[in-house]
Amino acid sequence: MKPIKIINNLFYSLVLIMLSAWSLNMLFNVPIALVFGVLFILSFVFPAFSKSQPTGFLLGIYREAWDSQLIKRFDTSDQTGWRQGIRDIGKYFSMLQDGETVVVNLTYFGVSPDVLIDNTAYPIAIQQLDGENVAITVKKFQTKATPITDDEIFGLNYNKMQAVQESHAIKIEEDKNSMALHNIAPNANIAAMPVLLTTGDLVNGRRMCRGKDLLTLRDSLNRLLHPRDGRRLILCNDHINDLLSEDQKFADQYYDSTDGRIFKRFNFEFFESSTNPFYNAAAKTKLAYGAVPVAGTHTEASVYFHISRLVQGKGFTKNYLSQSAQDPLQQRNLYNVRHYDIVTRYRNEGVSVIASATA
């Protein structure tokens, strides 16, 4: 046997053993060192173990471990960013056999009884309070399949399968949060969901965002009787740069240079995003998701919401992997992911945006 082939077999054997040990630890909490030792010995007793691709039961373990890792990753992301604290309805999702998540029906009970002050008339009148049904449909996210050939698995000096999985997870995170901000934002300017415009200097075809624009938003929300606690403002790239460059005093007062985040001010919790929705500034209407903004017409917006007016939930998450052993012509593996997620307002209220004016 050629030395390079021996090295490749040894390398693949160690990778396979480590992945197996890690998978069993994730699923059954079996000590990694124990599993590694047993499988290392078995690789010499049964040499075929170190020369074949994972199949059958072992491949099933990989898939379950990958599913577990993806779910854990998405959960961590959703509970540490701007989605933290939003009501989670994931436990109410019903799933078909293939994981297709269907509609969740909620009841919005936003009516209140009349209050009698210093009442002397009895019996007290009866007042009926009825809830309203709200249907929430979960969005399905699927990645296109990525090929990983056996030549790449044996020849590359890094774990391409792991790199591909990481790439798919990152892309789904980006797209589902981008879709979430688009769902939250109002479609057009109405009294309950105002679309406000910036009032700063006109620079490169748009007006800059100023601190007084945040005060205008705050005043609007106060008039709409939004509770002070739970107000969140997701700033777009343009607006965060505008606010930080307004003057040094503003930056020193509102900006934490250690982690790059704006402190809580004006009753807002501030977050940042690079995938905020765009608006037609003149018409104050939202650009369709995925549509290409037109320079001079569409500008990016910062999105406001109150956490009491949103719901979120995650459904089915699954990894898909076809083996190279089933593809004798191309000798390649194919990998992709399916994930279900939703963040949306359940009433046409409790949200707003600040878009950059163009004139």
Q: Are strands 269-272 and 146-149 parallel, antiparallel or unpaired?
A: unpaired
Write the Ramachandran bin of 259: left for phi over 0, alpha for psi from -120 to 50, otherwise beta.
alpha
How confident is the model over 129-169, as pLDDT tens digits?
666 667 778 888 999 999 988 888 777 666 788 888 888 98
CB atoms near residue 94 (< 10 Å): 10
Q: Which two tokens stand for residue 306?
A: 């109150």
Crossing angle of the two packed helices 3-28 and 56-78, in degrees rounded to 10: 60
The answer to whether 165 and 335 are in contact (CB under 8 A) is yes
Determine the pLDDT at residue 347: 86
What is d(CA 327, CA 337) in angstroms, rounded to the nearest whole number?
20
User: What's the whole-model pTM score?
Assistant: 0.71
Domain boundaries, the chain: 1-52, 72-102+138-359
In a 13 Å sphere around the CA of 133, the CA atoms on its Cβ side amount to 4
What does each C-alpha distance from 102 to 22, 79, 226, 313, 317 come to in angstroms? Answer: 34, 24, 31, 12, 14
Q: Which two tokens stand for residue 359?
A: 């004139």
Asked whether the predicted pLDDT for residue 273 surpasses 70, the reply is yes
Give the distance, in angstroms, between the CA of residue 199 and the centroid of all CA atoms in the same chain.
31
Determine the pLDDT at residue 231: 96
Asked whether the predicted pLDDT for residue 211 surpasses 60, the reply is yes
Q: What number is the average pLDDT over the span 212-233?
A: 96
What is d(CA 310, CA 349) in angstroms, rounded to the nearest whole number?
10
User: pLDDT tier at 192 (50, 70, 90 boundaries)?
Assistant: very high
Asked whether the predicted pLDDT for residue 45 surpasses 50, the reply is no
What is d(CA 285, CA 186) in angstroms, rounded to the nearest whole number?
8
Q: What number is the average pLDDT over the span 71-84?
A: 65
Q: Which two tokens stand for residue 176?
A: 């589902």
